[in-house]
Amino acid sequence: MNTIKLITQIPGENSFKVLNRRKEALPNGSSLATEIVIKSARGAVVKDVDGNTLLDFAGGIGMLNLGHNRKEVIDAVKKQLDEYVHSCNIVMTIEKYVELAEMLNSVTPGNFKKKTLIANSGTEAVENAVNIAKYFTKRNAVICFEGAYHGRSTLTLSLSSKYSLFKRGFGGFVQDIYRMHAPNIYRKPEQFTNDEYVKYCVDKFEESLISHVDPSAVAAIIIEPILGEGGFIQIPKLFLEKIREVCDKNGIVFIADEIQCGASRTGKFLAIEHTGVVPDIVCMAKSIGAGFPISAVIGKAEIMDAPHLGGIGGTYGGSPISCAAAIEAVKILTSKEFLDRATYVGEIIQKRLNEWKNKFQIIGDVRGVGAMNIVEFVKDRKLKTPDMDIVLKIIKETVSSGVILIRAGLYSNCIRLLPPIVITDEELNEGLNVIENSIKKFSI
């Protein structure tokens, strides 16, 4: 039997009422990707305020790898609520903060002593990681990459790409930030093979360390091992190895932003584990909280210990409620069963996406690692001209048919697939069928 059950149009009458209230109460700049008004959710299934049942293929932008309302997580939170809600880890030690830090220190790659700082959001994690790196190195410059998204604070916006959507009107930005080219094999020059192109990017990166900034001035190099908002572009192993080499040679802190691509989305706890490259600091958030607001900065103890006493931390960082959720989440996320499931879900999705690419000329590329997958739409396959308009049409049709989707990509011409990894095979195939029918409707 189908999971999707639609008894009204999307949005229905009750949803319209809430959406109108939202319009009056929230600022216009507050993003809204769909017109779904959620009432309840379990696993990959969402019910809206009109009684419609939908499948979630957006996963809270990678926040719900464990699905909605995971029982073990909810039970742990309820238990913690009965004990105490918060005390501030600056005032009194929260044992669950310590327990979570110990757990993250143990599961993060690297044969060295680690320490963890807990915060509330991915933006905070990146902000703290960069600040700690600056303090440790006594330098100011930071290198980031094209296509990156690191958050919405002044510093993290400065590190992010996609100017028109995220940065327009919010300047000036932080100085001493140097943006460099990130390899995108799909959009490589035609004269290069894949290997030649990656080698070219490595050479240009080295050249930029002369033309853009000297390594002796650089505190940190930050990169997403798989670009999230940038279009699920996996950074090649050779390029990450070059970053590691440059950092080692010049005393630079290597920061891996695993906020969207981590938490077992790709079949490994961290996406960078697919390459064997070990960063100095890892930033995590989203799915490690299974829906509760939490982030973490995990790094080499000598780096993390650099700031003076009182130099890092905050009132809500390490909330015992969120820590209780994250402890249970990380236990599940790091289990072999869950990692295998992420790989399996990814295999099903990738098989279907490759079939779509063969069927539909409007699809320029499909790519992904594990259960982190994307479809890129173009007006012309040879020219690879991005088609943003058709993506909006496909998403609107798909959502109206009962599958929640959102877009991504530097050109906003991609549909990202981030269903909860706990989705059943039947739900997964049902949702993929709906998406395929929507693509078919607008295909040439």
Predicted TM-score (pTM) of the model is 0.96
SS3 of residue 62 by DSSP: helix
Asked whether 212 and 206 are in contact (CB, 8 A), the reply is no
Structure tokens at 322: 């969120």
Q: What's the mean pLDDT when you consider all of the chain?
A: 97
Please state, in angstroms and rounded to a whole number, the distance separating the CA atoms of residues 131 and 101.
19
Burial class (CB in 10 A: 0-12, 13-18, 19+), 10: buried
Please state, in angstroms and rounded to a whole number, the distance separating the CA atoms of residues 371 and 428.
11
CATH number of 13-62+336-442: 3.90.1150.10
| pLDDT tens column, 308-359 | 999 999 999 999 999 999 999 999 999 999 999 999 999 999 999 999 999 9
Is residue 170's pLDDT more than 90? no
Q: At CB < 8 A and 24+ separation, what contacts does 174-177 make? A: 176/140, 176/141, 176/142, 176/217, 177/141, 177/142, 177/143, 177/144
Residue 178 is predicted with a pLDDT of 98
Sheet bearing 114-119, strands edge to edge? 114-119, 295-300, 281-284, 253-257, 218-223, 141-145, 177-180
Asked whether 392 and 405 are in contact (CB, 8 A), the reply is no
Asked whether 300 and 110 are in contact (CB, 8 A), the reply is yes
Domain ranges in the chain are 13-62+336-442, 71-333
Is residue 31's pLDDT more than 90? no
Q: Would you state the CATH architecture of domain 71-333?
A: 3-Layer(aba) Sandwich (3.40)
Residue 444 is predicted with a pLDDT of 67
| pLDDT tens column, 206-237 | 999 999 999 999 999 999 999 999 999 999 99
What is the sign, positive or negative, of the torsion defined by CA atoms of 305, 307, 310, 311? Answer: negative
Is residue 123's pLDDT more than 80? yes
